[in-house]
Structure 1
Amino acid sequence: MGTISALLFDFGGTLDGPAHWLDRFLGSYSAVGVEITRAELDPAFDHATRIGYGATRVVARFGLTDLVRFLVGHQFEYLRKSGPDQLRARLDDSGAAGRHRLVEAVTNSFVRETSAGLAHSRKVIGPLHSRFKMAIVSNFYGNLDRVLGEAKLDRFFATVADSSRIGIFKPAPGIFEDALKKLQCAPQSAAMIGDSLSKDCAPAHILGMRTVWLCTEPRCGEDSAAADVTIRSIDEVAQLQW
């Protein structure tokens, strides 16, 4: 394996905090007193995500807070119609004003946690900028450049492959190839860092990239052919010996 000269990062769950967005939303719901299980929130999360992917022209102008508010609003719409009975009753009884307050509370909780994760990653990414060409490869909503700009992370990345902008979603290889082409880098000289084996590591591995799996769950001990290296914190990227 040749020398690594480029690092490609996933965004959600990798650079913005050590957890999948669904799990962070679940924590934010709980933090504001809305009790719901992961299985109950999952279809609402998927529903809002699909709407977001289909609304790129609108979402493209959003920063992080407006994006999260948009997603939470659509999650609540789904839960009010198809959520667990007790929650549906609560949302109906709350009225429009009460639901709005809950949406804002969940949004603010999620954004606080995400902003803290981004601030931490900025400290990690900064020193790497002088050593590697860097890019982001993310299934996102068309506004990742704005989110990175708000977090003062944009200056570190030579290119951003935002799936909704280029019309290719992970795990399709084309989104990785788009980033590599813009970096003018061969796959063998690049490493992909992400929290998903199936969407980040597996397709990158097939292309010939080195793969780093960011995993903070107990299953991290399991072997995976798709991951060359397993790390438990984004901090460990700076310590890897290429």
Structure 2
Amino acid sequence: TGKTITIPNQTAAIETELLRDYRFGQQQLIEIWGHACAIAITKAFPLTSLAKKQPTVLVVCGPDQNGSIGLVCARHLRIFEYEPTIYYPKRTPNTIHQDFTVQCEKMDIPFLSYLPTEVQLINDAYNLVIDAILGPETDHTDVKEPYAGILVTLKQVKIPIASVDMPSGWDVDQVTSDGINPDVLISLTAPKKCATSFSGKHFLAGRFLPYDIQKKYDLNLPEYPGTDCLIEL
């Protein structure tokens, strides 16, 4: 499949249009994206492949929208019989994000109070890390604590990492070596420019986009198989 590239200000414009003109709700979009991320995880890391061990997943959530997508992803993974644990160091006062947090708590998903800096502890306790830290809406060039420290730790882990929308620490327009190097990338709506040089397993979750938006932004999205909400590029 030919990869589609959408420039970052287009991504923001598409989201604004979905919210304003197409009457999508913010909560609705985060739910769609988070669910698609969980499905991508089940395709990239099926339960059977983790059967010898516990299907433990560490979901690291940032302060903005990407973090909320991570919360939704964790909830669906729990429903799919994975064992997520969430690390969400800076909780936002945004009520939508708070609602997603409560939903995870009500599913008995544990929240870590701190991230172990001993990489071995993370490698031993989990089989997979989901990076839902910094999305396109965040400034990746000036990563503040605690996220700078989290990225340093995650760059050293041996277990696979799956990034939501873009790898944390990368520039949305280009790859920067400061970021983490995930095994799986789940692009939301359309791939970001930096995804062109991503060489791991790459999924796209954008099937929900209205046809007029696809046409207007010349997204040239691939044909999704069957009833799948995502496609591997």
> Which TM-score applies when normalising by structure 1?
0.35
Q: TM-score, normalised by structure 2?
A: 0.36
Structure 1 or 2: more helix by fraction: 1
For CA contacts below 8 A with separation 6 or more, give which structure has more relative contact order: 1
> Over alpha carbons, which structure has the higher Rg?
1
